[in-house]
């Protein structure tokens, strides 16, 4: 693995733990969906964990994160309690959005996790608004926006990048290029397939990184954050990755070959980091097993917590819609 010089052993173990937590959390959520405990839309992040964990690990607590509908991983990486995310997926009042948002609308302003947006590229103009507020208030925070490559063909994407660059807003745009927008491959809709090259037109730094390498993502994000904090404006990172599951729980995923899936799974970021930790004797096999067992117990407890939580009351239906 590349770039280990910037991370201490404890940090490496923490990167592993967080990716493993997201993977296990979503495997469990998928099981609960199949059992009818979770309903509605649900988009799993399995396979893409290194992007959220690498990028968010480079942030301070005071920094902001905005995601798309594929948001469980980003919210966990930003520090949300698995209990409240699972409760949200179950639609319970103890959920992070009081059970009224569901999978695509995780939100916690204190955590500085500002959604969860169901509209493709919908989070981007909001990210620009946050960036403007940060500059206006002269806050020393940055905002990171995550979105899929499908969003890069939306008008809102181009408007957002243009304004962000013209006004030197402290934003890191992270495109999770998993090559498919539902069943539409990037090849069919993009004349320029190396997305990061398109961004040169907005006069901001843009690069492509291996989104299956948590340390590569972390390092690229750290560089972009430094630039944003220095007042030099936004950056764009194209993280090349792959989702192992269908687009959403209702997608049969019949547009990709088994061979392609196998090739990507051989590059799994979690297995790769575990191997690195073991090979370099950063963690003993026993300690690794203990860490994994703890995560499994935590995910099991999240399901219990969600399942015994109450449903939102009918009176709550119209609450939290407008702010005074
Ligand atoms: C404006 C808009 N158009 C269409 C949709 C339906 N839709 C939901 S997800 C999606 C694909 C987006 O793919 P991508 O941006 O690559 O993200 P990924 O799902 O791969 O993470 C589409 C077309 C939508 N939610 N919003």
For residue 182 and ligand 1, the question of a CB distance below 6 A is answered with yes
Look up residue 108 and give its DSSP letter.
Answer: B
pLDDT tens profile 24-59: 999 999 999 999 999 999 999 999 999 999 999 999
Question: Confidence band (pLDDT; 50, 70, 90) for 7?
Answer: confident
Q: Is 228 left (phi over 0), alpha (psi -120 to 50) or beta?
A: alpha
Query: Please, what sign has the CA dihedral across residues 83, 89, 94, 95?
Result: positive
Q: What is the pLDDT of residue 322?
A: 84
The Å distance, Cα 182 to ligand 1 centre, comes to 7
The Å distance, Cα 24 to ligand 1 centre, comes to 24
Q: Other C-beta atoms within 10 Å of 6: how many?
A: 11
Question: Confidence band (pLDDT; 50, 70, 90) for 323?
Answer: confident
| Average pLDDT, rounded, for the chain | 96
For residue 186 and ligand 1, the question of a CB distance below 6 A is answered with no
Supply the CATH classification number for the domain 4-303: 3.40.50.970
> Among the atoms of ligand 1, which is closest to the Cα of residue 149?
16
Q: What is the DSSP string of 178-198?
A: -SEETTEEHHHH-S---HHHH
Going by CA atoms, what residue is nearest to atom 8 of ligand 1?
Answer: 120
pLDDT tens profile 182-223: 999 999 999 888 999 999 999 999 999 999 999 999 999 999
For residue 151 and ligand 1, the question of a CB distance below 6 A is answered with yes
Compute the distance between CA of residue 145 and CA of residue 237 in angstroms, rounded to an integer: 10
Going by CA atoms, what residue is nearest to atom 17 of ligand 1?
Answer: 148
The Å distance, Cα 7 to ligand 1 centre, comes to 34
> Among the atoms of ligand 1, which is closest to the Cα of residue 176?
21
Going by CA atoms, what residue is nearest to atom 13 of ligand 1?
Answer: 181
pLDDT tens profile 96-152: 999 999 999 999 999 999 999 999 999 999 999 999 999 999 999 999 999 999 999
CA distances from 214 to 108, 137, 242, 270 (A): 25, 32, 14, 9
Return the H-helix or E-strand segment holding 145.
strand 143-148
Average pLDDT over residues 290-306: 98
Domain boundaries, the chain: 4-303
């Amino acid at each position: 693995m590349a770039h280990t010089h910037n991370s201490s052993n404890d940090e490496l173990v923490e990167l592993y733990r967080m990716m493993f937590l997201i993977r296990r959390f979503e495997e469990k959520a998928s099981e609960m969906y199949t059992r009818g405990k979770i309903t509605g839309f649900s988009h799993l992040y399995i396979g893409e964990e290194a992007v959220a964990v690498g990028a968010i690990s480079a942030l301070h607590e005071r920094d902001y994160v905005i995601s798309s509908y594929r948001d469980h991983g980003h919210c966990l990486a930003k520090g949300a309690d698995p209990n409240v995310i699972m409760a949200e997926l179950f639609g319970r009042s103890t959920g992070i959005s009081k059970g009224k948002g569901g999978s695509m609308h995780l939100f916690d302003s204190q955590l500085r996790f500002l959604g969860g947006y169901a509209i493709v590229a919908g989070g981007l103009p909001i990210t620009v608004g946050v960036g403007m507020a940060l500059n206006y208030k002269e806050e020393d925070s940055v905002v990171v926006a995550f979105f899929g490559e499908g969003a890069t063909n939306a008008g809102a994407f181009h408007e957002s990048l243009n304004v962000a660059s013209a006004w030197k807003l402290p934003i890191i745009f992270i495109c999770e290029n998993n090559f498919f927008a539902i069943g539409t491959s990037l090849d069919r809709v993009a004349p320029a397939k190396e997305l990061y090259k398109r961004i040169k037109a907005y006069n901001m730094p843009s690069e492509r990184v291996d989104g299956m390498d948590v340390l590569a993502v972390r390092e690229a994000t750290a560089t972009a954050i430094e630039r944003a904090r220095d007042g030099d404006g936004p950056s764009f990172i194209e993280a090349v990755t792959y989702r192992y599951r269908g687009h959403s729980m209702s997608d049969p995923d019949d547009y990709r070959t088994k061979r392609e899936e196998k090739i990507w799974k051989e590059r799994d970021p979690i297995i790769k980091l575990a191997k690195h930790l073991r090979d370099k004797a950063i963690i003993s096999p026993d300690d690794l097993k203990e860490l994994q067992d703890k995560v499994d117990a935590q995910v099991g407890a999240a399901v219990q917590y969600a399942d015994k939580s109450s449903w939102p009351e009918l009176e709550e239906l119209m609450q939290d819609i407008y702010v005074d």
